[in-house]
Chain A
């Protein structure tokens, strides 16, 4: 194992890979100077986000106004991930999208999915209780999990069940009776003009005037106001009361903590295995659960605690996550800086994540995507490697140009093979690498300069090395 950075800078690179989409070497230097704790606070500050404005994006993408198709909302989100100054917020949106996985297949409406992600933006770092209430009222969710068909006297259990199983507590912590009682409490939570809107979803046909947004509506006359018994509590509960009781459960604290740990510290097994497999670090989960209760369910407090904890900063947590496809695409594009301005090529570019197995806003099911090594099948790996290597190999991208300039120190001479490899790794954020990979890269650099022809410049040789750094097993991890 070889390290390519000072330990302070390597820790900052770790923070930025996890709380964001990585950072250039230049930016890391600036952040190290600013200090670790200060950087954490900046990441947590939801009031300072700055990114490319929607007005600017729409001048290049008129199709984003109506969010007609299933690609616009995802491509629009990719702009946010690539351009934002508040990367943690977009990163967290990705986590919530995985947990509250809602998909185009049933909705046929990119606009309401876009609206759901914006909801995560407003509430994703606030109180977990508030977030659960918001997702329960979210129009896309109400259709996706059939709560629009959950009626007084004729319940549809789908939302009640997933709320407990996938959204808050996990299987084994509630009974079938609790599922039914929760469903009763959410009767009457629906969208305005329900029948027309759901019919529109089932008939994805020509929509010449664009998609209509759905909006939440509480229909008191369709709400079952009777007494319910839920997790040992009795009362004439409404959905808010159910969420309140859920939030008081230790199982909820552990479930949420495990999601946050898995997304920010180290890949856990996929959710269906949780009842049978203990967490990687039970003490970390217990500590996060503790913060959950002490802070009155504040997600921001949990994240602050996490980023400052030893279990996060530890060397053992480094590169213990596989980058998700959207994360990988965004992290490459942030380094290459090719979307400093909008460009219609963002539509096909954002589809790259789909080719790698993560079609944003079209998860395979309500369970979301399985992460970790399940991201990487052979077809997906070919796409990942070819995408990163192609983008890092484009010297016309401003980010690539400045990386090459920094590696060569603006000189026009080849560097020694080990020097050029270590600099390339460091510039692309790989702070440690197996000796096996590093030696293979150094041998390449050596051979390359041996067979060098007059037409090829030292800059082009550096670019070839950048391409191969994008192809390393290490680059697949965060």
Chain B
């Protein structure tokens, strides 16, 4: 069967709060790790061993399965120079790809502008969540923000379907073409029609979708990835998907909380790829998972405080699985103020994804050349 070549899609999952990289990709045989993590250390019998020295967190079974298929790239020690341990500033740095100054535009907003400079498709980029993360923001670039695909759209609180259809008809008339004498009204009108059409197009996705995969109910990240799968399979031209998974700020009760988070996330990611594979679409998407920073090497008796170097994941059938970059040394003289040093700039990963996967020149988006990883099979 010959299928039309589809444009590759990027799915970005932001782990908000600072994921503890050391309890995600665990150096369980390392004496410094064992000594530093008296309260929340994971031991050999718990971790899912990878190579005899590193193991995945026990909740990461589904990701280990993808790893075994050779589809998971782990970028160790990822970060940027002069680490900032404020959630907001550090997330800003990841969002804007600019660590030295405060930049207003997001890297994915800039990427969407490159992909669709004429705004031919109002849903080239979609955020699944409320409000737009700065990573997706760029002047004049339309990006849809979808809280819940099933109810997404204008005036969702009008419950009676007939009344809502009438109301949407009023909306499209009010925001329809004007005589052009009022430039502001015209601009609002065009945006309104974009929102109306985007919602209209997106509404078709759930109707066209059926799958044997049952994503976990009541788990937000699972529902978001199901929504993403629906839109991706509906072939609406969306190239950038974005969603958040929150709660990684594990200062306290880390063992319990971190297990729950990674259970939710890895189950959802596993289901997502099973779903795509079932529909022959597993080659069309790559998932990138990142967090604003890692956490301190030494635990605080119940959790961990903010650190610097972290771990990121790039997952997909097109990915050459394996470790990228050395696992940072935990030796005292290699630490940065009690944290793992970074040895991979996050912008190298961005450049790799833009160039190697999306087929876009990374230089105008990142403002500089960054060394790329050899991460894709094609």
Tell me which of B87, B170, B175 contacts A443 (CB under 8 A): B170
Residues from 408 to 464 in A contacting B, C-beta threshold 8 Å: 434, 436-437, 439-441, 443-444, 447-448, 451, 464
B88 within 8 A of A: yes
Task: Tell me whether B188 and A473 are in contact (CB under 8 A).
Answer: yes
A468-B170 contact, Cβ under 8 Å, with A377-B142, A389-B155, A434-B178: yes
Task: Tell me whether A378 and B194 are in contact (CB under 8 A).
Answer: yes
A373-B187 contact, Cβ under 8 Å, with A202-B84, A365-B103, A383-B145: yes
Considering residues B127, B141, B145, which has the most beta carbons from chain A within 10 angstroms of its beta carbon? B145
Task: Tell me whether A444 and B184 are in contact (CB under 8 A).
Answer: no
Binds A, one of B32-40, B158-166, B256-264: B158-166
A67 to B170, CA, bound (A): 43
Given the complex, which residues of A lie within 8 Å of B130, measured CB to CB? 351, 355, 383
Task: Tell me whether A379 and B145 are in contact (CB under 8 A).
Answer: yes
B354 within 8 A of A: no
Interface size of B by CB at 8 A reads 56
Tell me which of B86, B140, B158, B185 contacts A473 (CB under 8 A): B185
Task: Tell me whether B92 and A105 are in contact (CB under 8 A).
Answer: yes
Given the complex, which residues of A lie within 8 Å of B131, measured CB to CB? 351, 354-357, 359, 379, 383
B377 within 8 A of A: no
B55 within 8 A of A: no
Tell me which of A320, A359, A378, A464 contacts B167 (CB under 8 A): A464
Binds B, one of A123-131, A203-211, A277-285, A329-337: A203-211
A471 to B157, CA, bound (A): 13
Given the complex, which residues of B lie within 8 Å of A440, measured CB to CB? 169-170, 173-174
Of chain A, the residue at the smallest CB distance from B131 is A355
A62 to B188, CA, bound (A): 40
A468 to B194, CA, bound (A): 18
B154 within 8 A of A: yes
Task: Tell me whether A467 and B85 are in contact (CB under 8 A).
Answer: no
A320 to B185, CA, bound (A): 10
Shortest C-beta distance, A146 to chain B (Å), equals 11
A467 to B164, CA, bound (A): 11
Of chain A, the residue at the smallest CB distance from B171 is A471
Task: Tell me whether A378 and B142 are in contact (CB under 8 A).
Answer: yes
Shortest C-beta distance, A114 to chain B (Å), equals 16
Task: Tell me whether B143 and A377 are in contact (CB under 8 A).
Answer: yes
B104 within 8 A of A: yes
Tell me which of A103, A357, A390, A448 contacts B132 (CB under 8 A): A357
Given the complex, which residues of B lie within 8 Å of A374, measured CB to CB? 139-140
Task: Tell me whether A382 and B154 are in contact (CB under 8 A).
Answer: yes
A31 within 8 A of B: no
A106 to B91, CA, bound (A): 11
Shortest C-beta distance, A203 to chain B (Å), equals 5
B199 within 8 A of A: yes
Task: Tell me whether A104 and B88 are in contact (CB under 8 A).
Answer: yes
A448-B86 contact, Cβ under 8 Å, with A378-B191, A386-B157, A440-B173: no
Given contacts A374-B140, A476-B188, 18 further A-B contacts (CB under 8 A): A105-B88, A108-B88, A108-B89, A202-B84, A202-B89, A203-B306, A355-B131, A365-B103, A365-B104, A370-B139, A376-B188, A379-B144, A386-B155, A451-B162, A468-B167, A471-B174, A473-B174, A473-B188
Offer 12 A-B interface pairs, CB within 8 angstroms, sorted by A. A106-B102, A202-B84, A202-B89, A267-B184, A379-B144, A379-B145, A382-B145, A385-B171, A386-B155, A390-B157, A436-B176, A471-B154
Q: Nearest 8 A-B pairs (CB), nearest first?
A: A379-B145, A355-B131, A204-B86, A440-B173, A105-B88, A378-B195, A364-B104, A373-B187
